[in-house]
Amino acid sequence: MLNILTIAGFDPSGGAGIIADLKTISSLGGYGISVVTAITAQNTSRITAIEKVSPLMVQKQLEAIVQDFHLDGIKIGMLYDREIIKTVAAFLQTLKSSTPVVLDPVLLSTSGSPLLKEEAIAVMKAELFPCCTAITPNLPEAESLSGITIKNIADMEKAALELLKYHPRWVIVKGGHLEGEPVDIAVNGKEFYHFSGQRLTRKEIRGTGCTFSSALTFYLARGLAMKEAVSRTKAYMEKAIIKSFRPGQGHHVLNHFTSLAGG
Ligand SMILES: Nc1ncnc2c1ncn2[C@@H]1O[C@H](COP(=O)(O)OP(=O)(O)O)[C@@H](O)[C@H]1O
Ligand SMILES: Cc1ncc(COP(=O)(O)O)c(N)n1
């Protein structure tokens, strides 16, 4: 069984963050391990408070995990501030370079609350991007990280090339927020791929970014090449979107367990 670590925030409603990551990893047959960076008070409609975990406690959690586990893949989500980013970057530098590391550069929640402090963005680009096998911004994240306004696939490519300058191995820009079909792209400077698909719903669904990056980490940890790993991730997303549901009174959440009875 593959050991997949998620370093991310806690969303008690389970739609996003660490709980969504663990559901994704478990449903794919991996063993999910989690290091918490921040606790949010959040439901399927909104975030009402955020409390960060101290950088020392993040470091202690990471140390406890590496002393025990061989890690096959690492997914990174909400990091909240520069001290936590620096702690995670220092940890990644101690790992073998063959371990896949996928960063979902979470900036804002679907409900519009900031999940990363503005002043931490430059540190994330300079210190974390170079440690990543892939970064997986959505359109608003790619716009704000690259400074390029994105209206179409050509703009997505421009933004991806701009973000490659910070040296992640791959930039994957997700197109769920495009007007038409949700096309994702993956770029590494030499190779360039498009992943097309049909728009399956217009509903707001929570946790799609968390789930995409966790599934991608799992497939890369299985040894798949990026093209195949993204295509399997997109197929996984489509199944989870088709079976999404509304457990509370706000946004819909993904159904990660579509292969189980009742899913
Ligand atoms: N309505 C939709 N129909 C089909 N696929 C979608 C839809 N919305 C998002 N996706 C896919 O789900 C994944 C997550 O994309 P996106 O919504 O852009 O990310 P985020 O959750 O970070 O905003 C991508 O593969 C995207 O193409
Ligand atoms: C702890 C945590 N991590 C990530 C997200 C982003 O997910 P979404 O964009 O679906 O709100 C979130 N809302 N909460």
pLDDT one-digit tens code per residue, 216-259 = 999 999 999 999 999 999 999 999 999 999 999 999 999 999 87
Per-residue pLDDT, 67? 97
Per-residue pLDDT, averaged over 43-68, amounts to 97
Q: Is the pLDDT of residue 263 over 80?
A: no
Band of residue 193 on the pLDDT scale cut at 50, 70, 90: very high
Beta bridge partners of 47: 42
Mean pLDDT over 195-205 rounds to: 93
CA 175 to ligand 1 center in whole angstroms: 6
Note the pLDDT of residue 100: 98
Q: Are the C-beta atoms of 75 and 104 separated by less than 8 Å?
A: yes
**Of ligand 1's atoms, which has the minimum distance to the CA of residue 176?**
18
Of 25, 53, 23, 27, which Cα lies nearest the Cα of 40? Answer: 53
Total-model pTM = 0.97
CA 182 to ligand 1: nearest atom: 27
Ligand 1 atom, smallest distance to 139 CA:
18
Do 184 and 232 meet the contact criterion of CB atoms below 8 Å apart? no
Asked if the model's pLDDT at residue 52 lies above 80, the reply is: yes
Which ligand neighbours the alpha carbon of 206 most closely?
Answer: 2
How far is ligand 2, taken at its centre, from the CA of residue 6, in Å? 14
Residue 262 has pLDDT above 70, yes or no: no
Token reading at 182:
């949700």
- CB of 77 closer than 6 A to ligand 2? yes
Question: Phi/psi at 183 (nearest 5 deg)?
Answer: -90, 130
Q: Report the DSSP beta bridge partners of residue 6.
A: 34, 75
Which residue's CA lies nearest to atom 6 of ligand 1? Answer: 176
Ligand 2 centroid to residue 105 C-alpha, Å:
11
62 phi and psi, to 5 degrees? -60, -45
Q: Which domains does the chain have, with CATH numbers?
A: 3-253 (3.40.1190.20)
pLDDT interval class at 260 (50, 70, 90): confident
CA angle 191, 195, 196 (to 5 degrees): 145
Distance 190 CA to ligand 2 centre (A): 32
Pocket lining: 250 vs ligand 2, CB cutoff 6 Å: no
- Given ligand 2 and candidates 18, 104, 110, which is best to mutate, with the most ligand atoms within 8 Å of its CB? 110
> 116: Cβ below 6 Å to ligand 2?
no
Q: Is the CB of 106 under 6 A from ligand 2?
A: yes
Query: Binning pLDDT at 50, 70 and 90, where does residue 111 land?
Result: confident
Q: What percent of the chain has pLDDT over 90?
A: 92
d(Cα 199, Cα 258) in Å, to the nearest integer?
Answer: 19
Site to probe by mutation for ligand 1, drawn from 102, 212, 213, 226 as the one with most ligand atoms within 8 Å of Cβ, is: 212
Residue 155, both tokens:
């703009």
Distance of CA 76 to the CA centre of its chain: 6
- Report the chain's mean pLDDT, rounded to a whole number: 95
DSSP per residue, 182-244 = --EEEE-SS-EEEE-------S-EETHHHHHHHHHHHHHHTT--HHHHHHHHHHHHHHHHHT-
Q: How far apart are CA 250 and CA 78, in angstroms?
A: 21
Q: Average pLDDT of 50-59?
A: 97
Residues 148-191 pLDDT 10s: 999 999 999 999 999 999 999 999 999 999 998 999 999 998 99
